[in-house]
């Protein structure tokens, strides 16, 4: 009999499958326990979408400002450089970790795991990579940055002509893609890898 | 409803594999290699330490200026609260509400709620166990949203560099402010919500 234990209240549950798009909830504390079995192909497609969005978010301006004939643009990297140049390396590191390193490493690790699993091969260092992904997840703050971009654009409209750039579009797509990735159940990955070990 | 502690079962906090609690003595999860413990180690002591450090940093985060704005011919320097008040008096109410929620309400709620969870869990209280567990999940979910102002200030100071016409400089408060966010995240990650349901011993 398959069991699952709620990590919030330690209640033991049986683990019947749930239908696609829904989640099993704990009867004691209502925490989400698990989702429908993930489709590896769909998960891979979302990961690749997120990776493309990551490149767009890094390569293009987030906001462009025009005032009295002068134009300035903020990219992810120029924001980090600006914090660094204002002698705030702590802020530069915070931005780099939460907006570049954490999402990039997570996406690379997802690809590292998903591509071999989809091809029927156990990924090298599978358990280590899965643990690292779990540890890294809280430090990725892409959706907060998207709200920050929206706030910045609204604040700037009174000051100068403000245009959201393609980079902001990339951040928005990344936000959606990461939210979608969170709804894929990781248990399937563990089981697939266990099967391939034999 | 049976609990893992009663059935002699334990779940890995990383990969959620369920196994006999006897394995916990062995030390690591057989599936992912994560150290196995029935409950997080020194959970309340660590959570208290991070919480107190966060509360201490909360003072300079609010007292120091977070942003300096030069918009010829005016110059102003703002703390978090004065920035919110300025947005409000300017008539940007929705923006003031968003910034107030993320920068003032969420950090205060986090400090208060974590304190409440720590005090009640140590006493083995059966008071509103479900509500307290849900409060913990809310804390986990909103934790990083207070980084909003740090991001906004970094963006504005990067883009508003129009020479004499307009300039935005980040203030020193961004450092303790980011520190508060990180420390409260560490505090809530250290706390073990399962202790809310454990009987007092
Ligand atoms: Zn539960
Ligand atoms: Zn494990």
Q: How far is the CA of B31 from the centre of ligand 2 (A)?
A: 5
What's the rounded Cα separation, in Å, for the pair B14 and B69?
45
Give percent of chain A above pLDDT 90.
Answer: 71
A and B: number of Cβ contacts within 8 A: 187
Q: Which residue has the higher pLDDT, B95 or A169?
A: A169
CA distances from A15 to A1, A83, B18, B175 (A): 8, 48, 11, 45
Name the nearest CA neighbour of B199 among B131, B136, B129: B129
CA distances from A40 to A185, A190, B46 (A): 10, 12, 38
Cβ–Cβ below 8 Å for B31 and A29: no
Which residues sit with Cβ closer than 5 angstroms to ligand 1, an ion? A 6, 8-9, 11, 26, 28-29, 31
Structure tokens at A75: 């990219």
- List the domain range (segments joined by +) for residue A158: 38-197
**Same-domain status, A116 and A188:** yes
Name the nearest CA neighbour of B168 among B158, B181, B176, B177: B158
Q: What is the DSSP track for B50-117?
A: HHHHHHHHHHHHHHS--EEEEETTEEEEE-HHHHHHHHHHHT-HHHHHHHHIIIIIHHHHHHHHHHHH
**Predicted pLDDT at A20:** 82
Which residues does chain A have within 8 Å of residue B145's beta carbon, measured at their own beta carbons?
A: 144, 147
Is residue A3 classed exposed, middle or buried when 0-12, 13-18 and 19+ CB atoms within 10 A define those classes? middle
List Cβ<8 Å contacts ≥24 apart for A160-165: A160/A65, A160/A66, A160/A67, A160/B162, A160/B166, A161/A65, A161/A66, A161/A67, A162/A63, A162/A64, A162/A65, A163/A63, A163/A64, A163/A65, A163/A66, A164/A62, A164/A63, A165/A60, A165/A61, A165/A62, A165/A63, A165/A64, A165/A73
Residue B38 near residue B5, CB atoms below 8 Å: yes
What's the rounded Cα separation, in Å, for the pair B76 and B71?
9
Which residues does chain B have within 8 Å of residue A4's beta carbon, measured at their own beta carbons?
A: 11, 16, 18
Residues in chain B: 201
Provide CB contacts within 8 A for B130, sequence distance 6+: A28, A29, A30
> Which residues 102-161 of A are in CB contact (within 8 Å) with B?
127-128, 130-131, 134-135, 138, 141, 144-145, 147-149, 151-152, 154-156, 159-160
Q: Is residue B91 scored above 80 in pLDDT?
A: yes
**Predicted pLDDT at A108:** 98
Which residues does chain B have within 8 Å of residue A95's beta carbon, measured at their own beta carbons?
A: 150-151, 154
**Same-domain status, A106 and A11:** no
**Same-domain status, A128 and A141:** yes
Cβ–Cβ below 8 Å for B159 and A156: yes
> Which residues 28-57 of A are in CB contact (within 8 Å) with B?
28-31
Banded model confidence at residue A130, pLDDT cuts 50, 70, 90 = very high
- Sort strands A161-164 and A63-67 into parallel, antiparallel or unpaired: antiparallel
**Same-domain status, A12 and A71:** no
Of A3, A91, A131, nearest to B154 by CB-CB distance is A91
Q: How far is the CA of B134 from the centre of ligand 1 (A)?
A: 9
Cβ–Cβ below 8 Å for A5 and B4: yes
Q: Mind listing the pLDDT tens digit for each residue in A135-153?
A: 999 999 999 999 999 999 9
Cβ–Cβ below 8 Å for A154 and B15: no
CA distance A185 to chain B (A): 11
Q: Is residue B24 scored above 60 in pLDDT?
A: no
**Same-domain status, A96 and A10:** no
**Predicted pLDDT at B164:** 67
Q: How far is the CA of B9 from the centre of ligand 1 (A)?
A: 15
**Same-domain status, A66 and A158:** yes
**Same-domain status, A93 and A153:** yes
Which residues does chain B have within 8 Å of residue A68's beta carbon, measured at their own beta carbons?
A: 162, 165
Q: Is residue A198 scored above 70 in pLDDT?
A: no
Q: Mind listing the pLDDT tens digit for each residue in B113-136?
A: 999 999 988 777 888 899 999 999
Instruction: Calculate the CA dihedral of residues A97, A100, A101, A104 and round it to 10 degrees.
Output: 150
Structure tokens at B37: 């413990």
Q: How far is CA A193 from the centre of its chain?
A: 22
**Stretch A14-28: mean pLDDT, rounded?**
88
Q: Which residue has the higher pLDDT, A67 or B111?
A: B111
What's the rounded Cα separation, in Å, for the pair B5 and B172?
48
**Same-domain status, A14 and A50:** no
What's the rounded Cα separation, in Å, for the pair B28 and B34?
5
CA distance B166 to chain A (A): 8
Provide CB contacts within 8 A for A166, sequence distance 6+: A56, A60, A61
**Same-domain status, A97 and A9:** no
**Same-domain status, A156 and A130:** yes
Q: How far is the CA of B43 from the centre of ligand 1 (A)?
A: 18
Structure tokens at A14: 């049986």
What's the rounded Cα separation, in Å, for the pair A69 and A189?
54
**Same-domain status, A114 and A126:** yes
Q: Is residue A158 scored above 80 in pLDDT?
A: no
Name the nearest CA neighbour of A184 among A79, A25, A41: A41
Q: Mind listing the pLDDT tens digit for each residue in B67-78?
A: 998 887 888 999
Cβ–Cβ below 8 Å for A29 and B32: no
**Predicted pLDDT at B90:** 87
**Same-domain status, A98 and A146:** yes
If one counts the domains in chain A, the total is 2
Banded model confidence at residue B92, pLDDT cuts 50, 70, 90 = confident
């Amino acid at each position: 009999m398959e069991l699952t234990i709620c990590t919030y209240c330690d209640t033991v549950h049986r683990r019947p499958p749930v239908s696609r798009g829904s989640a099993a909830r704990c009867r004691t504390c209502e925490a989400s326990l698990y989702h429908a079995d993930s489709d590896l192909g769909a998960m891979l497609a979302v990961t690749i979408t997120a990776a493309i969005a990551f490149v767009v978010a890094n390569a293009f301006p987030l906001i462009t400002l025009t005032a009295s004939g002068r134009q300035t643009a903020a990219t992810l990297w120029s924001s980090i450089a600006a914090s660094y140049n204002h002698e705030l390396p702590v802020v530069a590191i915070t931005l780099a970790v939460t907006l570049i390193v954490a999402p990039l490493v997570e996406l690379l690790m997802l690809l590292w795991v998903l591509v071999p699993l989809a091809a029927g091969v156990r990924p090298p260092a599978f358990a280590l990579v899965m643990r690292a992904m779990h540890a890294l997840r809280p430090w990725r703050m892409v959706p907060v940055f998207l709200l920050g971009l929206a706030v910045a654009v609204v604040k700037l409209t009174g000051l100068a002509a403000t245009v959201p750039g393609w980079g902001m579009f990339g951040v928005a797509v990344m936000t959606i893609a990461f939210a979608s990735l969170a709804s894929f159940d990781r248990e399937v990955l563990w089981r697939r890898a266990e099967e391939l070990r034999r | 409803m049976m609990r893992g502690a009663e059935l002699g079962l334990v779940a890995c906090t990383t990969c959620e594999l369920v196994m006999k609690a006897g394995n916990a003595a062995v030390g690591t999860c057989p599936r992912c290699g994560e150290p196995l413990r029935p409950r997080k180690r020194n959970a309340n002591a660590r959570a208290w330490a991070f919480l107190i450090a966060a509360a201490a940093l909360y003072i300079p985060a609010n007292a120091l200026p977070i942003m300096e704005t030069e918009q010829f011919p005016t110059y102003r320097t703002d703390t978090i609260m004065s920035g919110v008040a300025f947005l409000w008096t300017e008539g940007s109410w929705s923006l003031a509400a968003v910034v107030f929620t993320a920068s003032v309400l969420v950090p205060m709620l986090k400090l208060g709620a974590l304190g409440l969870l720590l005090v009640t869990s140590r006493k083995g209280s059966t008071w509103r166990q479900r509500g307290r567990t849900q409060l913990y999940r809310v804390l986990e979910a909103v934790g990083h949203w207070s980084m909003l102002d740090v991001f906004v200030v970094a963006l504005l100071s990067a883009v508003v560099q129009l020479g004499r016409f307009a300039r935005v400089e980040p203030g020193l408060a961004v450092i303790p402010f980011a520190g508060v966010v990180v420390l409260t995240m560490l505090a809530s990650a250290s706390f073990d919500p399962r202790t809310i349901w454990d009987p007092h011993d």
